[in-house]
Amino acid sequence: MDCEEFCTYVGAFVDGELETERNLEAFEHVNTCPGCAVRAAEIPALKAAVARVFSEVRVPQYLQDRIGSSLEPHVMIPQLAEPPSSDARAARLRLKVLAPLGIAAAIGAALLLWQYWLSSGSQPAKVIVATGQFVTDVREQHRLCVDRRGLGHHDASLPRDLPGTARCLSNELQLAVIAPDLSIKGFDLVGADRCGIMGRRGAHVLYQYALTGAPLSVFTVGSVTELGSGANGSTRGRAYFVSSNQPLCVVAWHVGPQTYAICGEFSEPNLLDLAGAVRTASLAGPDFHQPAGSLLAKAQ
């Protein structure tokens, strides 16, 4: 089963509705494809968000009556013991007028959520296995900064806020340095400096996962040609270069003349999910001030 075929069955797969043979094929694919794993993992959250939108819509009485009339004769629909008051009739009339508008608004909101999900990091990315010296250097730089400096990883000349740090480093290094707000994902800023990656000019922003204390590195350097280009020689679209050799997973991508990389002791699907949030910042540049993934977090 390839990615295109998996996307056809992903809904039924998540709901446990596939027949045994097809389900095994989907299960095997999702365990080997990080992009499809992220897509499958976020479907329940999307369904919950849509359910919350529609839960606020009241079913109009005329629709209830039509449903009731189509039921079997022995199915009783509870009725009011007394005729409704004039206030109740007026309220029911308002509901008949406004309910279609409420339903339309709910459907519109659900479609917006679905459209955002399709255009966000939930889509299967073009994932290319990256090996070689660059991946080794990313891991080595991450280890050096974490082991030698740890919580002291912040140059005193840099601002302590994320937007200020990004702008300061961008102006100094002449790179589109990013320092995204990852608090919604559970990460706190530890510090930033001009570490680059093993001699390459660039910036290093270090975060810490609040639940476990695990560090996460976000690097910005000039374009790294040895990383390779995107599929078919192009870096357009969502093309990630992934190396998941444990314990440190590396995800890297190109945006213009910059190469960005994140590194940490996280599973490949989790790091790809983070890459979607960080990449939003890399596309927007150093003036991106919104918490990464905030819109999706509000919808979940």
pLDDT tens-place values along the chain, 300 residues long: 787 788 888 888 777 777 777 877 887 787 777 777 777 776 776 666 666 555 555 666 666 676 666 665 544 444 444 555 555 555 555 544 444 545 555 555 555 544 444 444 444 457 888 878 899 999 999 999 999 888 788 999 999 899 999 999 999 999 999 999 999 889 999 999 999 999 999 999 999 999 999 999 999 999 887 776 543 344 444 578 888 877 899 999 988 888 999 999 998 888 988 888 888 777 766 654 444 443 333 323
Q: Which residues contact 188 (CB under 8 A, 6 or more apart)?
A: 207, 208, 210
Task: Provide the pLDDT for residue 204.
Answer: 96
CATH number, domain 126-299 = 3.30.200.100
Task: Provide the pLDDT for residue 56.
Answer: 56
Strand 239-243 with 126-129, pairing: parallel
Helical pair 20-30 and 3-14, crossing angle rounded to 10 deg: 120
Task: Provide the pLDDT for residue 103.
Answer: 52
Whole-number Å distance between alpha carbons of 69 and 54: 24
Task: Return the SS3 of 144.
Answer: helix
151-186 residues labelled b (16+ CB within 10 A) or e (exposed): eebbeeebeeebeebbbbbbeebebbbbbbbbbbbe
Task: Provide the pLDDT for residue 77.
Answer: 44
Task: Provide the pLDDT for residue 292.
Answer: 43
Whole-number Å distance between alpha carbons of 13 and 237: 27
Instruction: Locate the domains of the chain by residue range.
Output: 33-119, 126-299
Phi, psi of 108 (to 5 degrees): -60, -45
Task: Return the SS3 of 287.
Answer: coil
Phi, psi of 66 (to 5 degrees): -65, -40
Q: Which helix (H) or strand (E) holds 209?
A: strand 202-209
